Amino acid sequence: MLMQIPDIGNFKYLLRRFPSDPLGPRIKKIRGSHLYTHSGEKLIDFTAGYSACLALGGSNRRIESAIKSQMRKYSFISALAFSNSKTAELAELLVRNAPTGLDRVMFPGCSGSEAIEAAMRMSYQVRVEQGQVSRSTFITRSNAYHGITASALSLTSTPVYEFFRPLQAKNVVFIPQHNYFEKAEVNESENEYAARSARELEAAIIATGPEKVTAFVAETMLGQLQGNVTPSGNYWMLVREICDRYGIHLILDEVYCGLGRSGKVYCCEWDGITPDFVAQGKQLSAGYGPISAVVTKSEFEEVIKAGKNRIFFASTYEAHPLAVVAAIEVQKIVQSDEMLEHVNSGNTLIMSHLTEGLEKHAFFKNVRGRGMLVSLEYDCLDRDLFNQDLERSMRYEYSVLLSANYHRTNFTPPSSTSLRDTERVITQYVETFRKCSLKYSPKKSVGL
């Protein structure tokens, strides 16, 4: 997707995730949704920083000013030894618009992976404090992604990480992924599928033994790995009822889809439920600082206070002061009524233009998503080559960066992207899709 530059100079000392791949373009600066490269290009970024975390784009002066002001006071103090009123302010912002009952916030580290780890550990620690030591099993869904740290990775069953399985925890049970577009039976309605999918969770609980299960961990809506798959019907209400029936914690992963990106502050607001733990990460500071959070309930705090009076999770840079002040300004923006309205307008624009422009195309399957997180699913012969054509054409003909992988194109622009730019890019994409498709033939979907 990205332009390649020669692997020269001191880059040879850098151990990269993909060591043999050419380097991507060097970015000179970012202004809003636009990237400026050292080679003189101006690109509009519909990936929000590739990992969809730049919810407000780059170079927001309000956020930059807050960081600079904090640096003049101090750049770092340990959250383990000192108090920071700004951290309390950020916690209040996260609680203010949280689902009823979520009233405590922990900042466990720098990434969403650490937030998932912390939620898992707190769930089990509460069990231990309550004398339920046997409740050590987590249930999760197949082909999901919850992070790269040890416990978070144990929840991941994607084939690329399978070689790590011997190093991972064994106390994880997988159930089928919740994906109506892929797993619904012929003529099965969304509510019928939701009920069947929820029964799969209940069956796993019963098979494992409810007395052994501490929590069910899942993304509120599936992220980029599967292409912004929204939950079907009343799925989450059914899941919440099942978890309550068997005394199981519900941990929702909103690292990708939370804090305004779905068009509501918490993505689970769309589903009318209150989880026991919500993991937040990418969207917390929108790329302006590494920070993550777990939003949970004061009743769990009381259990821990009455027991060991210590949460057994700590990180050197948790609640880093520079990331905290950045996150405060980000949250004031992304949680505002104006921004949420803008995000929902963007969703309507993207989904309607894609549907109207391509629903009669032979490759078209569906458009789905919430807020500024939308995917178009399609299928054809030589799908990987078709995806490459789409990316290259948008990149070099229109200076647009987007992600086309497997069976879909993901549209995850910064929430702050103007509706004018959004409409222009989607119009260009529809034209590009039609043009590129002339070289390929339709084919029944075979999934990932």
Q: What is the pLDDT along the chain (448 residues), one digit of tens a residue?
A: 545 555 468 888 999 989 988 888 999 999 999 999 999 999 999 999 999 999 999 999 999 999 999 999 999 999 999 999 999 999 999 999 999 999 999 999 999 999 999 999 999 999 999 999 999 999 999 998 999 898 999 998 888 888 888 888 889 999 999 999 999 999 999 999 999 999 999 999 999 999 999 999 999 999 988 999 999 999 999 999 999 999 999 999 999 999 999 999 999 999 999 999 999 999 999 999 999 999 999 999 999 999 999 999 999 999 999 999 999 999 999 999 999 999 999 999 999 999 999 999 999 999 999 999 999 999 999 999 999 999 999 999 999 999 999 999 999 999 999 999 999 999 999 999 999 999 999 986 444 4
pTM: 0.95
Structural tokens at position 69? 């002001």
- Long-range interactions of 187-193: CB distance < 8 A, separation 24+: 189/233, 190/232, 190/233, 191/232, 191/233, 191/234, 192/233, 193/232, 193/233
What is the reported pLDDT for 198? 98
In angstroms, the CA 445 to CA 448 distance is 9
What is the reported pLDDT for 444? 62
What is the reported pLDDT for 157? 83
- Chain-centroid distance of CA 306 in Å reads 34
Say how many C-beta atoms besides its own lie within 10 A of residue 155's C-beta: 24
What is the reported pLDDT for 161? 84
- Map tokens 């939370």 to a residue: 258
What is the reported pLDDT for 448? 44
What is the reported pLDDT for 4? 53
The class of domain 65-334 in CATH terms is alpha beta
- Map tokens 């391509």 to a residue: 358
Say how many C-beta atoms besides its own lie within 10 A of residue 356's C-beta: 11
